[in-house]
Structures are given as structure tokens and as C-alpha cells.
Amino acid sequence: MDAFTVNLWNFGNGTTTATVNFGRARSFIAWGSITFTDSLADYDRDNAQAIEVYRIDGNDPGWVGSGGDHLGSPGADSNLRPGGWVGFGRSVTFRFRTMHVEDLEGYGVGCVVALD
């Protein structure tokens, strides 16, 4: 069993990605966690953050939410991906998004435990 972490910062930018590559296909558990949110002005309706399991071996794991003020229409890349994933693969890419970066910044971490 091996464990991996990647850091994702959103200080002045809206989207950050980071990939964990195991070097070979393995069973794994992956999840993301936002650990710091900094409201630079009013934390209100136009602010949102999401950390997601964005890609498994470069493939889209599918979306879990769409629409509203911050997400896209069904099928759009801007839709919400899962926050955690149990599966089999060689790499996991996390995506951390901050909406309305003019008054919101943050930090998150992507965690993976490879099981075999």
C-alpha cells in the first residue's frame, strides 16, 4: 500500500489541476479536501469552490452536478465531478476550482491510497 498527496492552490487563478501517477495500474481510493478558504471581500452567492476527481487515466469519470450559477449544462466540462473515487487505474487528476476569484482564494489537497 502506498499513499500520495498533491497540493492545489487557487490564489488569483480560477482553476488548478494536479496529477498523481502510480507508474502502473493499481486499485486505489482517491479524494479531495478543501482545507483553506479565504474570503477577500463578501463571501456571498457568487462564491463557490470545488475539489474534484477530474480524470482517471485521462478519462472523465462523469459528472455529479450541473446547472445553476456555477456549473454548466449537462455534458459540459464545467460540471461538478466526484469528490472521491474508488477504482483501478494508473493516474488520478484532481481539479480545484474557485468561482469569482476576485474575492475568494483557497487551498486544497488531493489524496490517494493505492491498495496493491
pLDDT for the residue numbered 99: 86
Distance CA(74)–CA(95), nearest Å, equals 18
- Go through the domains of the chain in sequence order and give each one's CATH number: 2-65+77-114 (2.60.120)
Q: CA nearest 82: which of 65, 57, 100? A: 65
The conformation of residue 42, written as its DSSP 8-state character, comes to -
Q: What is the pTM of this model?
A: 0.93
Mean pLDDT per 10-residue section of the chain, whose length is 116 residues: 95 92 97 94 84 98 90 92 98 94 92 94
pLDDT for the residue numbered 4: 97
pLDDT for the residue numbered 28: 98
pLDDT for the residue numbered 27: 98
